[in-house]
Chains A and B, each alone.
Chain A
Amino acid sequence: MSMNHEEFPSREPENPAAEQALWDVLGRADADGLGDGHSVWPEVRRRTFGNQAGSAWFFGHGRFSRTGLAAGALAAGLAFGWLLPSWTGPAGTAASYSGTESYAAQSSWLDDSSADDLAGLWLDMGTEEEGDGS
């Protein structure tokens, strides 16, 4: 490899031959197998992909697939936590009395009524309360 003097735009070499000789000496010094050696790949692999081998059967090998699965699991958890209360309703509100059994247990004075009657009564009570408030 000859020295590329275009790489030295701001000066002219004082002694081009001597500079080229030094450049060549440097090149020879580097050519004697300086970079040779055993591959670092096994150790690099152990430190990068190695720790993921145990869970790769489920989460996959790709970084994005793992990240996507983690984000999906988090989103599903959040959605479930948000939807579940709206399905069941918070304790102590009228919605929590939608089950006829719980309604009957807390309303023992209606224990001989049919389920339909109870539901109808509960709806009527709700309507009356709304009407009272208006």
Chain B
Amino acid sequence: MAGTVRGEEAAFRLLVQRWEREVRAFLIHMLGSVEEAEDLTQDTFVQVFRKAEAYKPEGKFRSWLFRIAGNLARSRLRRRKILSWVSFRPEVHDRDSGRKTPAEDLERKDESRRVRAAVAALPERQRQALSLHRFQGLKYAEIAHAMDTTVPAVESLIQRAMGALRHSLSRKAGTS
């Protein structure tokens, strides 16, 4: 990050390559669209570059990074006026694991699809908190910084997200 503050291309390239996968995954969870996640992943790193001098090294870089990504995602969601159900594109998500039998693989893909759809149906703030915690591995304090809120609020968001998911997945399991 120090290299990026100095505007060095090689350092910035390393930074992008280190974090782009996690940013893209987070944005897919937030937006439910791979294409839009790709666009906003680019936008996130362009913002990082432009705001590099505002970054304070005493803070966690990844919470600052996901704060930028989260703000961009929320702006995009506001623009789209889509805050509820978002469908996923199966051709990108259904990667072949290569370690399962076809039946197991199919079952797992089906489970993954249902879970992602349930996550995508969560309210925006719950989805953001849950995604940062479960998928990106951020601690509560980092999520609080990334979402500009408090640790108890993050805890509450994740509890409600988990409750909603449990309800949603058990209902779907009952109907299928």
Contacts and interface: CB of A to CB of B under 8 A. Distances in A.
Q: Main SS of chain B's interface residues?
A: helix
Interface string A23-34: 101111110111
B115 A25 contact: yes
Nearest to B7: A63
A22 B45 contact: no
A40 B152 contact: no
Contact of A32 (B94, B140, B162): B94
Given A22-B165, A30-B134, A47-B42, A41 B119 contact: no
Interface string B142-164: 00000000001001001100100
A32 B12 contact: no
B140 A34 contact: no
Contact of A48 (B12, B34, B111): B12
B169 A62 contact: no
B16 interface: yes
Contacts of B108: 28, 32
A115 B167 CA distance: 105
B93 A34 contact: yes
A28 B95 contact: no
Closest 8 CB pairs of A and B: A63-B7, A35-B25, A33-B95, A35-B21, A29-B115, A29-B112, A34-B25, A48-B49
Interface of A: 1, 7-11, 18-19, 22-23, 25-30, 32-37, 39-41, 43-45, 47-49, 61-64, 66
